[in-house]
């Protein structure tokens, strides 16, 4: 009886344990257990290493800088999008998603190609840049240009929710607009801001693409690149990698914990039923031009420049020669799509791994979301938390754990060195997306739908086929697409975990950029971002449709 009632939980918990929990325990075990006994030797060694202290400092400083820079970019943007005539331009939000969805290593490569010696900047302006780009500031800039949309969207949504009767009440009871802003808007905005900013911090700590490309050039090592180096550079130092992973993990958990406390304490229900009237907004010409100018500047810097660089590079016949129409060619794309070439093979690998990972993740995520439902019971909360672990814990930590776990001598069989390894890795890393998309589709339904199901349906398969699939289908599909696009271009896991002589588009771009034919790599990058943008538009349409029907 008990076992039968708990069966869904047990099955799901075993699944999530194999996927995520056991690999994490493998990291712990490898660090703290030596010859069957508890040992703090390896973590002590790591902490006494001067290099490591430098790395830690680098990572944390980078996080702080990026947090500050994204704030400077995103706050004005959010204000412009909610308080000026641009409030109606919903399509802008899709554009702002593009830099966020662009793989950071591709954006970073775009900026490197643009700013490097003899790069496109010097070719266009026929002079050297008046400032040095290749330093920490440049790196902060590139990462902020990738991450600001996240902060912007959170702030914009918070501001929009505040518009209705809150705004009207402030107009009636408040004083000077600036004082109203300070007394009402900012405090209500604070919790959204802190939550988003801390997530930016975590994302910066966990980021691999930019440090691996740009950071490497300026000699700025961070956690992720160090861990990668420990595992890929001779002599391989596994305990170094696990110890460093643990430090990174603790830092992220700590920040996440702080964020939780803040959000619990300072989050208010700032939903007001009435939507604001947008017709009354009349801006002065100056504000109009400044808004348009600022939005264009940000879009130009975050999309225009890097996309220009990668597209031009992928089209150039001979690099180093002038930018002219006679120097353009589609040769690199031709090679890319030649059946049997290594690049074509890499692209196909990426697509098929991503397809498998997205499909399995969607299935698991759907079951998880249905079980978690409203997260009232302890077992539901436990699954909710574990299924979202990879949102908090940096991907590279999971990758280290997965390598250790699937190489463990205790396992009767292993998928290590097979193509299932990258697929499994992508599932682990991106499971939160499919869980969250399904959960949010579920939460938009009236709570009594569940009661209706319980009372009127004669068996569970009817509920599944007639209610959940049609109602949640769009959410599941959106989650599937999200998992598909980010799996397709995932870099750090692929670098470490792919079986020998198997390449994906991400590792192909990386290796061609580092030592090979940059043009070929950039052609692949263009294909990757085109697929990404296509998926963003499809997802946008799906979600709009889903909102329309419910």
Q: Interface with another protein includes 293 (CB under 8 A)?
A: no
Q: Which two tokens stand for residue 361?
A: 């993740």
Looking at residue 532, the DSSP 8-state letter turns out to be H
**Is the Cβ of residue 177 or residue 470 nearer to another protein in the bound state?**
470
CB of 379 to another protein, least distance (A): 15
* Positions 444 through 483 that interact with another protein (CB under 8 A): 445-449, 451-452, 454-459, 462, 466-467, 470-471
Q: Would you count residue 370 as binding another protein (CB under 8 A)?
A: no
Helix/strand number for the chain, H first, E second:
29, 2
CA distance 510 to 226: 17
The residues in 161-180 that bind another protein, with binding defined as CB under 8 A, are none
Look up residue 93 and give its two tokens. 């939000």
Residue with tokens 């697409």: 481
Give whichever of 317 and 543 is closer to another protein, judged by the CB atom.
543
CB of 154 within 8 A of CB of 192?
yes
In Å, what is the CA distance from 16 to each residue of 346, 427, 458?
A: 29, 10, 31
Rounded to the nearest angstrom, the gap between the alpha carbon of residue 548 and the centroid of all alpha carbons in its chain is: 27
- To another protein, the closest distance from the beta carbon of 491 in angstroms equals 39
Q: What is the distance between the alpha carbons of residues 464 and 331, in angstroms, rounded to a whole number?
A: 50
> And the tokens for 211?
């440090």
Nearer to another protein, 270 or 471 (CB): 471
Does 337 bind another protein (CB under 8 A)? Our answer is no
Cα 220–Cα 221–Cα 225 angle in degrees, nearest 5: 135
Q: Could you give the count of Cα atoms lying within 13 Å of 321 in the half-sphere of its Cβ?
A: 9
Query: What is the closest distance, in whole angstroms, from the C-beta atom of residue 475 to another protein in the complex?
Result: 13
Q: Which is nearer to another protein, 76 or 473 (CB)?
A: 473
For another protein, the closer of residues 470 and 499 by Cβ is 470
Q: Could you give the CA distance from residue 310 to residue 526 in angstroms, rounded to a whole number? A: 7
Residues 190-229 that bind another protein (CB under 8 A): none
Identify the DSSP state of 236: P
Residue closer to another protein, measured from CB, 476 or 523: 476
* Distance of closest approach, residue 450 Cβ to another protein, in angstroms: 8
> Given the complex with another protein, which of 105 and 468 has the nearer CB atom?
468
Q: How far is the CB of 399 from another protein (least distance, A)?
A: 40
Contact string (CB under 8 A) for another protein, positions 386-425, x = contact = ----------------------------------------
CB of 543 to another protein, least distance (A): 16
**Does the protein bind another protein through residue 549 (CB under 8 A)?**
yes
- Cα–Cα distance between 183 and 310 in angstroms, integer? 46
> Which CB atom, from 176 or from 446, has the smaller least distance to another protein?
446
Answer whether 195's CB lies under 8 Å from 155's CB. no
Q: Classify 34 as helix, strand or coil.
A: strand
| One-character DSSP codes across 298-316 | HHIIIIIHHHHHHHHHHHB
Of the two residues 364 and 472, which places its CB atom closer to another protein in the complex?
472
Binding mask 491-530 for another protein (x = CB under 8 A): ----------------------------------------
Positions that interact with another protein (CB under 8 A): 1, 445-449, 451-452, 454-459, 462, 466-467, 470-471, 549-550
């Amino acid at each position: 009886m008990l076992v039968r009632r708990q069966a869904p939980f047990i099955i799901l918990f075993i699944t999530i344990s194999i996927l995520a929990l056991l690999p994490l325990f493998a990291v712990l075990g490898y660090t703290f257990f030596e010859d069957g006994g508890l040992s703090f030797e390896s973590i002590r060694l790591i902490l006494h290493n001067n290099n490591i202290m430098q790395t830690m400092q680098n990572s944390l400083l980078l996080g702080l800088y990026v947090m500050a820079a994204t704030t400077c970019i995103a706050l004005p943007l959010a204000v412009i999008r909610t308080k000026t005539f641009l409030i109606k331009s919903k399509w802008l939000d899709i554009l702002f998603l593009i830099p966020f969805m662009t793989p950071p290593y591709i954006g970073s490569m775009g900026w490197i190609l643009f700013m490097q010696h003899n790069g496109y900047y010097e070719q266009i302006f026929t002079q050297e840049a008046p400032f040095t780009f290749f330093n920490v500031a440049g790196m902060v800039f590139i990462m902020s240009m990738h991450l600001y949309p996240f902060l912007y969207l959170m702030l914009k949504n918070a501001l929009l929710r505040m518009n209705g009767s809150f705004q009207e009440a402030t107009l009636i009871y408040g004083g000077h607009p600036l004082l109203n802003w300070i007394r009402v808007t900012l405090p209500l905005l604070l919790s959204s801001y802190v939550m988003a900013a801390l997530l930016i911090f975590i994302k910066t700590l966990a980021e691999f693409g930019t440090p691996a490309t740009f950071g490497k050039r300026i000699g700025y090592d961070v956690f992720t690149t160090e861990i990668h180096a420990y595992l890929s550079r001779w002599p391989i130092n596994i305990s170094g990698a696990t110890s460093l992973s643990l430090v990174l993990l603790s830092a992220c958990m700590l920040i996440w914990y702080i964020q939780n406390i803040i959000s619990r304490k300072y989050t208010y229900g700032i939903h007001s039923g009435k939507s604001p009237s947008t017709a009354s907004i009349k801006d002065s010409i100056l504000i109009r031009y400044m808004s348009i100018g600022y939005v264009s500047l940000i879009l130009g810097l975050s999309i225009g420049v890097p996309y220009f660089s990668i597209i031009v590079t992928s089209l150039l016949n001979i690099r180093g020669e002038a930018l002219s129409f006679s120097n353009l060619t589609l040769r690199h794309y031709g090679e890319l799509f030649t059946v049997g070439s290594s690049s074509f093979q890499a692209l196909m690998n990426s697509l098929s791994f991503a397809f498998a990972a997205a499909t399995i993740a969607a299935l698991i995520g759907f079951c998880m979301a249905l079980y978690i439902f409203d997260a009232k019971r302890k077992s539901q909360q436990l699954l909710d938390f574990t299924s979202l672990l990879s949102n908090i814990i940096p991907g590279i930590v999971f990758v280290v754990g997965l390598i250790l776990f699937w190489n463990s001598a205790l396992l009767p069989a292993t998928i290590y060195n097979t193509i299932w390894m990258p697929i499994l890795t992508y599932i682990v890393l991106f499971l939160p997306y499919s869980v969250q998309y399904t959960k949010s589709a579920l939460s938009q339904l009236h709570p009594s739908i569940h009661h209706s199901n319980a009372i009127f349906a004669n068996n569970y398969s009817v509920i599944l086929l007639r209610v959940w699939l049609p109602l949640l289908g769009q959410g599941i599909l959106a989650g599937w697409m999200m998992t598909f696009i980010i799996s397709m271009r995932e870099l750090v896991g692929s670098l470490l975990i792919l079986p020998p002589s198997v390449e994906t588009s991400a590792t192909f771009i990386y290796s061609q950029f580092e030592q090979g034919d940059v043009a070929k790599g950039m052609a692949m990058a263009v294909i990757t971002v085109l697929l990404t943008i296509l998926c963003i538009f499809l997802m946008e349409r799906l979600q709009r449709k889903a909102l329309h029907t419910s």
